[in-house]
Structure 1
Amino acid sequence: MALPTPSPTSHAVVTGASSGIGMALARVLAGRGHNLILVARRAEILEDLAVELRTRCRVEVDVRATDLSDAQATAALAAELADREISILCNNAGIATFGPVAELDPGYERAQVLLNVNAVHDLTLAVLPQMVRRGAGGILMVGSAAGNMPIPNNATYAATKAFVNTFSESLRGELSGSGVHVTLLAPGPVRTATPSAEEASVVDKAVPDFLWHSSDRVATMSLDALARNKMRVVPGALSKAMSVAGGYSPRGVVAPIVGRFYAKLGDGE
Structure 2
Amino acid sequence: MPTALVTGASSGIGAAFARRLAADGYRLVLVSRDADRLTALAADVGGPAEVLPADLATEAGVAVVAERLAGEVDLLVNNAGSTLNRSFLKTAATDETALLRLNIEAVMRLTHAALPAMTSRGSGAVINVSSVSAFAPVMPGSTYPASKAWVTHFSESIGQAVGRHGVRVMALCPGYTRTEFHDRAGIDMSKTPSWLWLQADEVVAHALRDLARGRLVSVPNWKYRVAVFGMRHAPRAVFTRVANDTRGRLGRDTL
Q: TM-score, normalization: structure 2?
A: 0.90
Other-structure match for 1:13: 5
Other-structure match for 2:188: 202
Where in structure 2 are there 5+ consecutive unaligned residues?
181-185
2:112 matched to 1:120?
no
* Partner secondary structure for residue 262 of structure 1: helix
Using the aligned pairs only, state the percent identity: 35
2:237 matched to 1:242?
no
Distance 1:211 1:256 in 2: 20
* Partner secondary structure for residue 50 of structure 2: strand
2:120 matched to 1:133?
yes
**Cα distance change on mapping 1:243 and 1:209 into 2, 3 Å:** same
Distance 1:97 1:249 in 2: 27
Distance 1:89 1:154 in 2: 31
* Partner secondary structure for residue 37 of structure 1: strand
Q: Do the aligned partners of 2:136 and 2:145 also contact (CA within 8 Å) in 1?
A: yes
Letter in 2 for 1:229: G
Shift of 1:65: 1.2
User: Once the two structures are superposed, what CA deviation does each residue of 1:78-135 show, in whole Å capped at 9, x if it has no partner?
Assistant: 12321x1010000111111244201123322211110000000000000001100010
- The total of aligned residue pairs comes to 249
* Partner secondary structure for residue 63 of structure 1: strand
Other-structure match for 1:62: 50
Other-structure match for 2:69: 81
Range moving further from structure 2, 169-178 or 125-134: 169-178
Shift of 1:185: 1.0
Letter in 1 for 2:131: S
2:251 matched to 1:259?
no
Letter in 2 for 1:74: V
Q: Do the aligned partners of 1:225 and 1:233 also contact (CA within 8 Å) in 2?
A: yes
**Cα distance change on mapping 1:71 and 1:250 into 2, 3 Å:** farther
Letter in 2 for 1:189: Y
* Partner secondary structure for residue 55 of structure 2: coil
* Partner secondary structure for residue 190 of structure 1: coil
Where in structure 1 are there 5+ consecutive unaligned residues?
1-6, 194-199
Q: Do the aligned partners of 2:152 and 2:217 also contact (CA within 8 Å) in 1?
A: no
TM-align CA RMSD: 2.1
Other-structure match for 1:171: 158
Of the three residues 212, 216, 220, the one matched with 2:197 is 212
Range moving further from structure 2, 170-179 or 257-266: 257-266
Distance 1:154 1:22 in 2: 27
Identify the structure with bigger relative contact order (alpha carbons < 8 Å, sequence gap 6+).
1
Shift of 1:266: 4.7
Shift of 1:52: 1.1
Distance 1:154 1:88 in 2: 34
Other-structure match for 1:197: none
Letter in 1 for 2:243: V
**Cα distance change on mapping 1:158 and 1:231 into 2, 3 Å:** same
Distance 2:198 2:38 in 1: 23
